[in-house]
Structure 1
Amino acid sequence: MSLSEREIAQFDRDGFIGPFDVYPREEMLARLPDLRLSLLDRDAAAYALGQAGPIANYDRHLDVAFLEAHVRRPEIVARLRSILGDDLLCWRTEFFAKYPGDEGTDWHQSRNLAIGDGIPQLAATEPHARYPEIFLTLTVWTAFTDATIENGCMQYVPGSHRHVHFDDLRPMRWDAERINRRLRDGVLRGLYGYDTRELQVDADWDTSRCEPVTVEMRAGQCMISWEATMHGSLPNTTREKTRMAFVARYVPTNVRIYPTQSHLNEYGGTADLGNWRALLVSGTDRYGYNRVRAGLPA
């Protein structure tokens, strides 16, 4: 399941690759009802509902067994090792649901995972041997339902990981009134209350010049990309089909995670990171920079 030399060359050129099969479609769809029920049990969730808002369901791989097993799947981890090496941490997971009528996700890219408050969430302590310049985190976007053009599948701009169009160290103002309100290049797009134009390096840069690849996926398939690759998604124009995705983010073990933060502030919510842990999914952690857990308690 490792990437071939041809696939690695393709990934280096484009900044994304896939889709790859992680589960048979029927298995993924069959698991969804029980998964949704398990998410209702928040007794061991990392973040309390309170003021956390939409980020309360981050990192549910830390308390839901299926999601903990998912981020370790050989179909995912073997390919990540081909890119970043053997010693890997899964440091964050998120659900992305797009309900009927929801806007698409606006174009964005991130090198520091600082979108929102402008505080870097990652800091490499040494350059990566293969990718010494920027790309700290790999994102694995898994379709838990079918993702189609009609219900809001992903789009990527090939080669954009080598150019800084959006500076995520700039702070952005969050406003819930922006959601489902704004057209970008004739398409209903936003970023869950943020306006990515506030991050554009060139305020006059025209995103309509992008030539994206639109990726439809079956339930159970995943895409692998740099977070620095410009990406977005289409709006859900259906009347009854929800698109559900689960995103897992990975870094080498030499990266400090949340190096200056005790709380996470995103999308109008605040979460205490006291219960946060990185999950070692491959190799060893010889650095010891982060609070790391091997897996769920038996």
Structure 2
Amino acid sequence: MLTQNQIQHFEEKGWLGPLDLFTSSEVESVKKCIETNSSIKEVEGQPMMMLYNNVLNLNTSRDLHLFHQPIAEMFKNNKIVRVLNQLGGDNLLLWNSNVFCKMPGEGEIKWHQVYDSYDPSAYDPQKPALLYPNTEDIINISVWIALDDATLENGCLHFANGTHKEKFGRVQVPAEEGMFAGIKNHKMVWQGRRKYSVVFDFDDNEWEVEAVPARMGQAIIFTERVMHSSPPNNSKKQRRLGINGRYVPPSVQVYPHRLKGDFIDENFHNIKKHFCILVSGQDDYGINVVRDSHDLDNIELEFQTMSNLVRFGHVQLPKGKKEIELETLYKQAMEGDCLEEEPDPILQPRKYIQWQAWNQLKGMSCSEAMKQYSQIVAKLPVVAQEKELPLEEKIKAWLVAYIAKVFNIEADEVNSTLPFERYALGSADAANLVAELGAWLERDIPATALYSYPTIEFLAKHLVSSS
């Protein structure tokens, strides 16, 4: 439960945290769920975490709680809900979630706020995601949970204190200059096909700004009205993974345009299968789609699970006819009968073969295609996952490789139990080794480390125990 001082902090500054709501082990299942159901790909020269929503059927980082139970259960957990009840009332819907993975070297998310609608990157949103009742002053509360340690170096959240009490103007800019342009994943999600995006008419030098680092499992709670941002990830190796859940009272309409039969949102995504989860209290309004979980039947649930194995590289894909069969069954399951024009078999031979295979499935139900797809994937060989070495072994391997390179010898000629002096390391060599090792580990290492811990074994053990 929050103290009165914490509640006052939230009311005055617009945010609160970090709070010790979960231990790192308690959020490990969520972290593992996201890592298992994702892949890392290079986009415009930058590594990027690719995610997929199996309910909305979108390549997106948003609303993964609709399909993945570990995420939904975390955001429904009483440790969160009890705190939110003190800030936002007894009746609350979980309406949105988003994964924020900032890879090393990835750029900033610029200052932004969400005040009276929900589409922070549109200049003049025609389809606001939220419609607030005129009779109430309601705030949209977010809970941001660190799944990696969020540090000053890798781009933790920053808040401009008290800015939730003021609405700032939007400035239209080209999409490549928008608030999410520095983050490849969110640029794709929020800006999509737009030519234009926005930044806010806001000068952070005029406000008290606080950076809020958080350890894995800690939570930061804030109203989306407060100006917030996160700087670039300037670390060389530290990913910053976090996830947020967004909550509103049931009196707020979520995707109000769906009531008119329009299921395409401001980002050109189909939200027909979107739903809210009532996490506390009751819904006396009946204006939103509210369920405890998705309504996928067992056949589609298995199909979505199997398609993730393919999508994220957990099985070895077949070659030749079996590969084409798998591709076309997926198309039949997702789109139904082939309506594409017949490609030229001479100019586009592979596309013609794919078209022909899909066209031969005409009349097969989506459900039957899903079943056949799942049966094939279930028999595919599993890709063996590489086990990550413990930190001590990584350090030893780095030291062996470094010494082998400096003295132009083979790695198997380096003995990790022999003193460094046996390799005739001069003072300059020792200083360079310590400096480069410190840069690799992203920590300061005393210049005397090689003398205090004179072998690779001793030094590696010390660095692990003192980290």
| Smaller-chain TM-score bracket | 0.7 to 0.9
Give 2:223's aligned amino acid.
W
2:56 corresponds to: 47
Q: Distance in 2 between matches of 1:274 and 1:81?
A: 29
Checking the alignment, whether the CA contact within 8 Å between 2:52 and 2:64 is kept in structure 1 is no
Unaligned runs of 5+ in 1: 182-190
Give 2:104's aligned amino acid.
P
| Structural mapping, 1:179-198, within 5 Å | 179-180=181-182, 192=187, 196-197=198-199
Aligned: 1:113 with 2:118: yes
2:285 corresponds to: 287
Q: Distance in 2 between matches of 1:71 and 1:160?
A: 26
1:19 corresponds to: 18
Shift of 1:39: 5.4
- CA 1:259/1:10 → structure 2, altered by over 3 Å: closer, same or farther? same
Aligned: 1:264 with 2:265: yes
Paired positions, count = 268
Q: Distance in 2 between matches of 1:274 and 1:166?
A: 31
The counterpart of 1:95, out of the listed 90, 95, 99, is 99
Q: Distance in 1 between matches of 2:120 and 2:9?
A: 27
Shift of 1:28: 3.0
The counterpart of 1:216, out of the listed 213, 216, 230, is 213
Give CA-to-partner distance per residue, 1:188-238, whole Å, 9 cap, x none: xxx8367643x42xxxx5333332110010000111111000000121001
Shift of 1:175: 3.2
Give 1:92's aligned amino acid.
N
Checking the alignment, whether the CA contact within 8 Å between 1:263 and 1:271 is kept in structure 2 is yes
Aligned: 1:227 with 2:224: yes
2:316 corresponds to: none
Q: Distance in 2 between matches of 1:98 and 1:247?
A: 14
- CA 1:211/1:98 → structure 2, altered by over 3 Å: closer, same or farther? same
Give 1:148's aligned amino acid.
T
- CA 1:21/1:127 → structure 2, altered by over 3 Å: closer, same or farther? farther
Shift of 1:9: 1.6
Give 2:245's aligned amino acid.
A
Give 1:147's aligned amino acid.
A
Q: Which moved more, 1:207-216 or 1:240-249?
A: 207-216
Secondary structure in 2 matching 1:125: coil
Give 1:46's aligned amino acid.
V
1:187 corresponds to: none
Shift of 1:15: 0.7
Q: Distance in 2 between matches of 1:30 and 1:24?
A: 12
Give me the CA root mean square deviation.
2.8
Aligned: 1:156 with 2:159: yes
Checking the alignment, whether the CA contact within 8 Å between 2:172 and 2:198 is kept in structure 1 is no
Shift of 1:44: 7.4
The counterpart of 1:72, out of the listed 72, 76, 85, is 76
Give 1:230's aligned amino acid.
M
2:450 corresponds to: none
- CA 1:290/1:21 → structure 2, altered by over 3 Å: closer, same or farther? same
TM-score normalised over the length of structure 2:
0.53
Secondary structure in 2 matching 1:273: coil
Shift of 1:105: 1.2
Q: Distance in 2 between matches of 1:141 and 1:64?
A: 17
The counterpart of 2:149, out of the listed 131, 146, 151, is 146
- CA 1:252/1:34 → structure 2, altered by over 3 Å: closer, same or farther? closer
- CA 1:69/1:179 → structure 2, altered by over 3 Å: closer, same or farther? same
Checking the alignment, whether the CA contact within 8 Å between 2:76 and 2:279 is kept in structure 1 is yes
Give 1:175's aligned amino acid.
E
Give CA-to-partner distance per residue, 1:19-59, whole Å, 9 cap, x none: 1123212443475234421458x99722223xxx5xx2311
Indicate the structure with greater helix content: 2
Aligned: 1:251 with 2:248: yes
Give 2:56's aligned amino acid.
Y
Q: Distance in 1 between matches of 2:99 and 2:53?
A: 17
Give CA-to-partner distance per residue, 1:221-266, whole Å, 9 cap, x none: 1111110000001210011111001011000011111112522334
TM-score normalised over the length of structure 1:
0.80
1:83 corresponds to: 87
- Structure ranking higher on relative contact order (CA contacts 8 Å, 6+ apart): 1
Give 1:86's aligned amino acid.
D
Secondary structure in 1 matching 2:112: coil
Q: Distance in 2 between matches of 1:100 and 1:91?
A: 30
Aligned: 1:104 with 2:122: no
The counterpart of 2:131, out of the listed 123, 145, 160, is 123
Give 2:118's aligned amino acid.
L
Quote the sequence identity (%): 28
Q: Distance in 2 between matches of 1:71 and 1:31?
A: 11
| Structural mapping, 1:18-37, within 5 Å | 18-29=17-28, 32-37=31-36
Shift of 1:83: 1.3
Give CA-to-partner distance per residue, 1:112-155, whole Å, 9 cap, x none: 11223323221122534xxx2xx431011111110000111000
Checking the alignment, whether the CA contact within 8 Å between 1:38 and 1:64 is kept in structure 2 is no
Checking the alignment, whether the CA contact within 8 Å between 1:21 and 1:75 is kept in structure 2 is no
- CA 1:195/1:237 → structure 2, altered by over 3 Å: closer, same or farther? farther
- CA 1:43/1:94 → structure 2, altered by over 3 Å: closer, same or farther? closer
Q: Which moved more, 1:26-35 or 1:105-114?
A: 26-35
Secondary structure in 1 matching 2:11: helix
- CA 1:31/1:251 → structure 2, altered by over 3 Å: closer, same or farther? closer
Q: Distance in 1 between matches of 2:207 and 2:160?
A: 7
Shift of 1:7: 1.8
User: Which structure has the larger Rg over C-alpha atoms?
Assistant: 2
Q: Distance in 1 between matches of 2:27 and 2:264?
A: 33
Give 2:65's aligned amino acid.
H
Give CA-to-partner distance per residue, 1:76-119, whole Å, 9 cap, x none: 11111111111100000010110000112111111111223323
